[in-house]
Structure 1
C-alpha cells in the first residue's frame, strides 16, 4: 500500500476530498457534497473550494478519512449534482381490483392478523369490515373532545384509527391534535380516554401503536408532548408508571426534551421506531427495544441503552418510514435538512443504530412498505418496487398510489372514489 494524501497507509476510500478536509480540525469545516452520478458516490469539499473559480483540487484519501467526511452530514450546507438510480426491470403484476366501501370513510386500518379485515372510520363510528365478503360484523360510536388549535406548517388535524390484533380493541386519535379514545368493539364501550396535552401537539401525529405481548395486548400511547406510556387497552391500567424527581432547578433525571410523534412497530413487536423532533427544531428518527421497556427498564423510552438516534435532520421529520421483514428500519431522506435532501432511503440496524445501506430513488411523497426482499414506495406516478440489497428499481405499477398495507392479506391498498383499490404483494 502507498501512503495516501491524508498521511495514512490504507486502502483508498470511495470518493475524494479537498485538501482542507484532511487533518486535525477538518471536522469543523462546512462542506458540500458533489454527487458523481453513480449511486450515492460523492466527493466532499469545503465551502471555499466549492465557490472558488478554480477547478476543484480533489485528492484521494484512506477509507477512514473519506467515510468520516461523507457520513458526518451535520456541517453539509449544499449538495451538487444528482445521484444515480439503478434500474433492473423485472416482471411485476400491474392488475388491481376495486372493492366498494360500505360507507364514506375518513381513515382505515388493517386488522394485522385477520386477512381481509379492516377497521373503517367515519366521523362518528368505527366499523369492522371484511373486504372479501362485504360484511360489517361490529361497530361502535365515538365522540372526541374538541379543543382550539393553530394549524402549523399545513399540518391539518386529522382523525385516525388504529387496529389491534383480533380487531376487538380500537384506538382513535387526532393527528396534530390532543385527544383520543380506546373502544371495545365487542361491547361498544370506551375503555380509555387519551390526552397528550396541548404543548405544540400540532407539530406531530398522535403516537399510538398496539402490540401483542406474552402478557397480553398492550397500547403504546403519547401522554405528553415528550412522553410515551404503555397501558392495558381492556382496562386502561397504566403499566409504565414513573415519576420525574427534580433537585433544585436542575432538569429531572431521565427527562426527555424530545417531541414524540408517529410510532412504527416492527414485525415481531420487538422494536419501536419513533418519529419526532427536538428544538431547534431537528428531526430525530429513533428506535428502541420495546421488550426492555416492558420487562427491564421503565425509563427505556427516555434514555435507556437501547434507545438509538439514527439521524439528525434540521426542520425535517414525519417522513416515510417502515420496518423490513428482517427487522431493519427504513427511513426516507438522505441529507442534513429539509432543503438539502437527496430523495432516497437509509436502512438501519436497530441493535446498533448503524446504517447498513442507503440508495437513491424513492421520492418520499408517499408511504413506504416492505415485504420479503423488496421495498415499495408510493410515488406520485404510481407504486415503485426496489431491491433492498442492491437499491435498484425493479418494477412500477403505474397509477396506483397505496396508503395502507394489510400484512395478513399481503395487500397494499389505496382509497379512491368510494372504493378500496387493492393490489396483491408477491409471495
Structure 2
C-alpha cells in the first residue's frame, strides 16, 4: 500500500529545526534562532532566506495545556513565508526574495490562547494572498508583499450567520475555492465553519450579502482544535464522534458543504454524507482517501465506504507535501524528516 518510508537527516548547518513547510522549490525550515532556510531536494546543505524576530513571550501560561509555539507557513511557490505563535497574538510575514519583513501580524488577543493562529496562504487571479485573523471573529485577506487589504469579513452583526465565532486554524480546500476555520462559539462549543473564497476575494464584503457559501458544521461541547481535512472542493471531514468533549471517541464525519438540509428548527445545515469510527490523530487527504496519523502509525481510509484500506505502522505524519505527493513526519528531536508517498495508496 503506497511506497516505502524514506528517512533523511536534516542538513547539519540548519541547527535545531522547530518546524517545516513544503513549497514548490523545496522544504522551508524554521530554526530555533528564527532563521528561515531553504532545503532543496537532494541538497546536503541549506541556505538562509530570512531571519525573523518572533518569539514566545516569557511566562506565557498555557490554556488547558495548549502551549504557545512558533509555527511556519509558506506560500505554495515559496515566495513568502510567515512565522506565527499558535495560541498567541503575534507573527511576521517575509518576502523570501529579499528576506524583508513585509507585514507584522497581531490579532486582538481576545481568547487567542484557545486556538492556533488563524493563517493560510492561497492564490487568486495569479497572485499570492494571505488569510489571517485580524480580530477574534474576523478573517481578512491581504497582499503578503504590501499588506494591502484585499477583502475582509463584514464587521460583526448580531443577526449575521457568521457572527460570534472565535476563528481557529484555517484549512484550505485542495483547489483553493473554499476555506474552513476550526472555530468555536459560546458557551463554549467547537463549531467548524466554511465559506467560499472566490466570490469573497473578487467582490469583498458584498459577497456576504448572499451568504458567500457559509456553512456551519454541528457543534460539539468544549471540543475544537480537532482533526480536519478537505477531501475535495465540496467534502470536508472532521474528527471525533460525539457531542461533548468528554464523550468523544475516534472517528470521522464527512460533510458536503455544497448541499444543505433544513432541520426541525429551521436551520440550514451541510449534509452529512458519511460517519464511521476508527480514524484518530491528525487528518490528511489525497486522491479521495483519508489518512489518519494515530499513535500507532498511519491509517488509510476509504471515506465513502467508511473502511480502513491500509496502514503504515510506526509512521505518524505531521505535514502534507501535496505538491510532491508525500506525507512528512518531522522529528525535531532526531533532526530528521520521514517521507511516505501517497501515490499508489488506492489499490
Q: State the TM bucket, normalised to the shorter chain.
A: 0.7 to 0.9
Q: Are 1:107 and 2:19 an aligned pair?
A: yes
SS at match of 1:98: strand
Q: Distance in 1 between matches of 2:319 and 2:54?
A: 24
> Root-mean-square deviation (CA), in Å?
2.2
Q: Are 1:392 and 2:307 an aligned pair?
A: yes
Q: Distance in 1 between matches of 2:286 and 2:316?
A: 16
Q: Structure 1, unaligned stretches of length 5 or more?
A: 1-91
Q: Distance in 2 between matches of 1:195 and 1:302?
A: 28
Write the mapping of 1:14-413 to structure 2, written as runs, cut at 5 A: 92-93=1-2, 95-102=4-11, 103=14, 104-111=16-23, 113-114=24-25, 117-123=26-32, 124-144=34-54, 147=57, 149-240=60-151, 244=155, 256-298=163-205, 304-325=211-232, 327-352=234-259, 353-363=270-280, 366-413=281-328
Q: Distance in 1 between matches of 2:54 and 2:285?
A: 33
Q: Distance in 1 between matches of 2:204 and 2:228?
A: 26
SS at match of 2:183: strand
Using a 3 Å threshold, how does the CA distance of structure 1 residues 165 and 406 change in structure 2: closer, same or farther?
same
1:134 is displaced (CA, Å) by 3.4
Q: Structure 2, unaligned stretches of length 5 or more?
A: 260-269
Name whichever of 128-137 and 306-315 sits farther off: 128-137
Q: Which residue of 2 aligns with 1:425?
A: 342
Aligned partners of 1:244 and 1:252 also within 8 Å: no
Larger radius of gyration: 1
Q: Distance in 2 between matches of 1:388 and 1:140?
A: 40
Q: Distance in 1 between matches of 2:298 and 2:2?
A: 11
Aligned partners of 1:271 and 1:288 also within 8 Å: yes
Using a 3 Å threshold, how does the CA distance of structure 1 residues 190 and 337 change in structure 2: closer, same or farther?
same
Structure with the bigger percentage of strand: 2
Q: Which residue of 1 aligns with 2:265?
A: none
1:234 is displaced (CA, Å) by 0.7
Aligned residues: 327
1:343 is displaced (CA, Å) by 1.4
1:233 is displaced (CA, Å) by 0.3
Q: Distance in 2 between matches of 1:230 and 1:245?
A: 17
